[in-house]
Amino acid sequence: MDLPVMPPVDPMLARSVPKIPAGELYEPKWDGFRAIVFRDGGEVEIGSRNTRPMERYFPDVVEHALAYLPERCVVDGEIVVPSAATGGLDWDALQQRIHPAASRVRLLSHETPALLILFDVLALGDDDLTSRPFSERRALLEQAIAPNPGVYVTAQTDDDAVAAEWFQSFEGAGLDGVVAKRPDLTYQPGKRVMSKIKHERTADCVLAGYRPHKSGDDAVGSLLLGLYTDDGVLASVGVAAAFSMARRRELVTELAPLVTSLEDHPWGAHATGRTPRESEQSRWSAGKDLSFIPLRPELVVEVGYDHLEGDRFRHVAQFRRWRPDRDPASCTYAQLDEPVSYALADVLAAGA
């Protein structure tokens, strides 16, 4: 491989801002695996967010790159998997693609095929484009990618009102918010020079346990959160984990009066709902200790979250505050405000 921009390349990043900034270029924020794709003739490499190679996990994306990308190029984008059930994105199916067995990867590439969504180009032919303004790179990207079923150029607008509409409606397809970029922005690997505006909601959850910190210190690693179903069953909905080490040690002492036995806990041996062990078992947790310290479900915590994936928070929730005024029985799924479903096909069509 001999390209003007060679792997590995750290992707250019975005910093979180509270609202959509004026006077920039706006794109939907895709919720997939970041990917910088290098193609030189018959050779394709896919670098992850951490510059690790991903082509072995996505042979279908390699095929798309060979079929639909320019002969020699470096492009920046996101790998996503459409959901056959919802018409949006399927994060769980995307995670399943990271599998050590080549036979399993090949099977999944046919059962849950991935798409490559592009939003930048770093090189075309012999030209290094990283020092050119983003508006120019975007125009070259649009010219380089003809309509096809495997590689898409993401939608873009310079109208902040349209971006606000995308922020609301595209979430229903599983997207993560909006990204804003200055038209004159050069490509700056590893630097947070773009802006991202992400969805965030709040929920009151039952604190039902915690996991000890991985360091082995007498400290809390993560708080285990639960919500009651319509049947009155406490289901595991996710974790909150953003604390300083000093605060993690304090929490052990503060929560000690609530510690109980697993036999007397809703997530014990006779649990009828989803427990933390069941909800977090995956290849990502293989070999990890998923045991936890059970707490009497008497304390309510307010957390921030972006959206649900099935019946669980998509990402780690952010601790906000304790809610001693709330009755744990009121912490139900019914309180959650989730987006109306939206078709991924419409999001892709917006970029056509």
Q: Six-digit token pair at 122? A: 């770093």
- Alpha-helical segments (H) within 199-244: none
Active site residue 196: no
Burial class (CB in 10 A: 0-12, 13-18, 19+), 157: middle
Strands (E), the chain: 13-16, 25-28, 33-40, 43-47, 72-80, 115-124, 127-128, 151-153, 177-181, 192-198, 201-212, 220-228, 234-240, 293-305, 308-309, 312-313, 318-322
Contact at 8 Å (CB) between 34 and 49?
Answer: yes
Nearest CA to 130 out of 254, 6, 271 is that of 6
Q: Is 94 helix (H, G, I), strand (E, B) or coil?
A: helix
Q: Helices 102-111 and 59-68 meet at what angle, rounded to 10?
A: 60
Instruction: Compute, in degrees rounded to 10, the torsion defined by CA atoms 198, 204, 205, 206.
Output: 160
Beta strands 151-153; 115-124: pairing state: parallel
Contact at 8 Å (CB) between 313 and 231?
Answer: no
Read off the amino acid at residue 305: Y
Write down the catalytic residue from 19, 29, 181, 288: 29
Cα gap 244→122, rounded to integer Å: 38
- The residues facing 120 across adjacent strands are 76
Nearest CA to 169 out of 161, 336, 69 is that of 161
Cα gap 304→318, rounded to integer Å: 5
Active site residues: 29
